[in-house]
Structure 1
């Protein structure tokens, strides 16, 4: 760095000195007989080069100014370093010096009052600024904590919602499963109840039928005894003129007793061609019972008979191959008969 040329030395001129000297209140011997030198534009030539220095009013003022600016720069640099490093600022203890403004000779009162702060306080935050910084830090901390709590609350709310949805899903599935099981059990119970009801109804019907047949059995009787069923109703064969058998045959020895199946009236008794000797018993409901192929007849027309009363004997008269009783049933006296086996069973009899 280039330096200024030294100013020419002032000549030594003895003179009468004033009673007041610069910087001291009384004369001192070591001051010597000095003559004050004031540099002028002619005596101080500007230095040519990269660095130029402005005109200065006095050596002490320039040194004080440079010192103040250096202290301010040092304190500012220290504060910036503390801010950048994230560490709390370190206070610098310095002796209080006169204010920078007071070092200038031509400064006004207003200018000096504006710069009355000592250099030891330069760069340090005031009490209000410290409190504001602390408040700002506390606000930032509270804001961060609030955001963290809000995020945590949102996460907990979301987790609770997921858990609630899962619980509701499990509850719905369990309820659906229970409903299905209940429906299946109800259907099974219904089917069982219906089956039990049907079975009970069947048993009741059977019991009623048995009771009815038992009562009818007391009123009806088989036409003969010691017999064998040899031909049934509807059986086909060339031996019958109609091409099929029209009655029920009870094969029994000749002379076996023939009894009235039910109480009624004898409406016919005599020879009937292919039927041999035949007796017709008409019941109260109009049903006609034909007893055919008898060897003898024991009743006459118009006679009233009761159940089990003897009306003739088994024989082999008419169109037959052996002794037997041929029984036909004609409801309402119609010419075409029905199955005597079914009719007898309906009356509680089992041929």
Structure 2
């Protein structure tokens, strides 16, 4: 950067007050006289490197106001020096009326820098109050956001609780309905069982009455007896390998009676059966009376229930005196259980 050349010397002249007003209040008696000052290369330290502009930091409004004031004073001083150096009469500089910067609301802190009543240090509270208001607004915003989140969480919790209550109510209603259906089914089952039992009891009564009437028509073949062998009993004593009748053990000579009304179709010796009498009933059922000691009827004779047809003996293939009774229904050669048949007629052997 080139240094400034020395300015030409001018004849000394005592400073005179300007004839025209300048600045804010006109000429002041406590100012001047001024002496000329010309900066030289020796008095000004040359700048090295690139020009740098200081970064603006906090309090930007106050610094800008200060720079503005310094710029105005420097411009006025430069005009005065230019007038002195040229030796010409000072030129009147007219500055338009500026508004009172202290009254400008958009520039906080500027009025306090140029005002005579307040120091510049009092400009800071305006920014502090602005920051405080911003902090308060931020806190209020955070509080509002927190309250909104809390409200949303509470609403979600209430919704979930409502859903749980609805499901519980539905489950309870379903359980109640199931219980009602189950109770109805149980009642129906009990009613059906009771009805069935009543029907069975009624049928049993009817059957008992029928058997009572039959018992009047049927009778056991002998008395004072003991059952010694039953139908179907297995053993080597019988040629077929099992017993084909019902044995009534009784003393020899015990009376044998017709169990029901019928006709004598056989009476005589029958080999292993000894003396045998066959009574054929009206429905075709044959009653065999075997091992008799004697026979009291003849073939073709009609007998009634309880008529004597012979006596207990031990003839044929026997081990002792007894009546061997067989029942052949519907022409069945092998026979059926005589005890079951007697029970069906109301008799208990």
Unaligned runs of 5+ in 1: 11-21, 23-43, 88-142
Is 1:217 equivalent to 2:215 in the alignment?
yes
Distance 1:244 1:155, change over 3 A: closer
Change (3 A) 1:149 1:239: closer
In 1, the alpha carbon distance for the partners of 2:305 and 2:175 equals 68
Alignment of 1:22-41 (within 5 A): none
CA offsets, 1:205-239, max 9 Å, x none?
Answer: 54444344333322221011111112222334444
Q: Secondary structure at the match of 2:217?
A: coil
Structure 1 residues 47 and 182 mapped into 2: Cα distance closer, same or farther (>3 Å)? farther
CA distance in 1, matches of 2:179, 2:13: 116
Q: Which residue of 1 aligns with 2:171?
A: 173
1:26-70 per-position Cα deviation (integer Å, ceiling 9, x unaligned): xxxxxxxxxxxxxxxxxx9986459342368669x66x95xx56x
Q: Give the counterpart of 1:342 among 334, 340, 343.
A: 340
In structure 1, what is the equivalent of residue 226 of structure 2? Answer: 228
**Greater alpha carbon shift after TM alignment, 262-271 vs 170-179:** 170-179
1:275 and 2:304 matched = no
Change (3 A) 1:45 1:297: same
Distance 1:155 1:350, change over 3 A: same
Structure 1 partner of 2:101: 72
Of residues 2, 8, 14, the one that matches 2:15 is 8
Q: Distance between the aligned counterparts of 2:298 and 2:229, measured in 1?
A: 28
Q: Quick one: distance in 1 between partners of 2:319 and 2:153?
A: 108
The whole-number CA distance in structure 2 between the counterparts of 1:72 and 1:160 is: 59
Q: CA RMSD in A?
A: 4.3
The equivalences for 1:41-56 within 5 A come to 48=38, 51-53=74-76, 54=79
Aligned residue among 101, 122, 127 for 1:84: 127
Equivalents in 1 of 2:164, 2:234: separation in Å? 79
Counterpart CA distance in 1 for 2:188 and 2:254 is 57
Whole-angstrom distance in 1 between the partners of 2:103 and 2:254: 157
Specify whether residues 300 and 86 from structure 1 end up closer, same or farther in structure 2 by C-alpha distance, changes over 3 A only: same
Residues 219/153 of structure 1: CA separation in 2 closer, same or farther (3 Å cut) = same
1:233-270: CA deviation from partner (whole Å, max 9, x where unpaired): 23344443334322211122222221111111211222
Note if contact 2:291-2:313 (Cα within 8 Å) is conserved in structure 1: yes
Give the distance between the partners of 1:236 and 1:155, measured in 2 at CA.
88
Does the C-alpha gap of structure 1 residues 160 and 222 become closer, same or farther in structure 2, counting only changes over 3 Å? same
Task: Give the distance between the partners of 2:166 and 2:262, measured in 1 at CA.
Answer: 82
Give the match for residue 287 of structure 2: 289
Unaligned runs of 5+ in 2: 1-11, 22-33, 45-73, 81-89, 112-122, 131-140
More deviation, 238-247/331-340: 238-247
More deviation, 290-299/153-162: 153-162
| Cα distance in 2 for residues equivalent to 1:85 and 1:228 | 129
Query: Is residue 300 from structure 1 mapped to residue 313 from structure 2 by the alignment?
Result: no
Change in 2 beyond 3 A, CA 1:276/1:163:
closer
SS of the equivalent of 2:213 reads helix
Q: 2:253 and 2:13 mapped to 1: Cα distance? A: 187
